[in-house]
Amino acid sequence: MQISLTARHFEVTSGLRQFTTQRLEKLQKFATDIHGVHVVVVQEKARYEAEITMNLNGSSLVCTETHAEPGAAIEL
């Protein structure tokens, strides 16, 4: 599974990149047909919005969440 992380309006730390990879790799236990995951984290004032797009066999799943911390937005 290929995981890509994009940040808008802030810099991605190596810790956030590692946290994101560890969390998303756990999804393979539940769905073996995940081909790729694209995470976009946008900082808007004091909030972070994380949008995760998973490419499955023939379809896509998009999840969006906001939180005060970028890691928490990704985890939620």
In this predicted structure, what is the pLDDT of residue 62? 96
**What residues pair up with 8 in beta bridges, in sequence order?**
42
CA distance 36 to 28: 11
Supply the pTM of this predicted model.
Answer: 0.90
CA distance 16 to 69: 10
Closest CA to 74 of 20, 15, 36: 20
Residue 50 has pLDDT above 90, yes or no: yes
Helix, strand or coil, per DSSP, at residue 19: helix
Which ranges of the chain does DSSP label H, i.e. alpha helix? 14-25, 70-75
Q: Judge whether 38 and 52 are in contact, CB under 8 Å.
A: yes
Q: What percent of the chain has pLDDT over 90?
A: 84
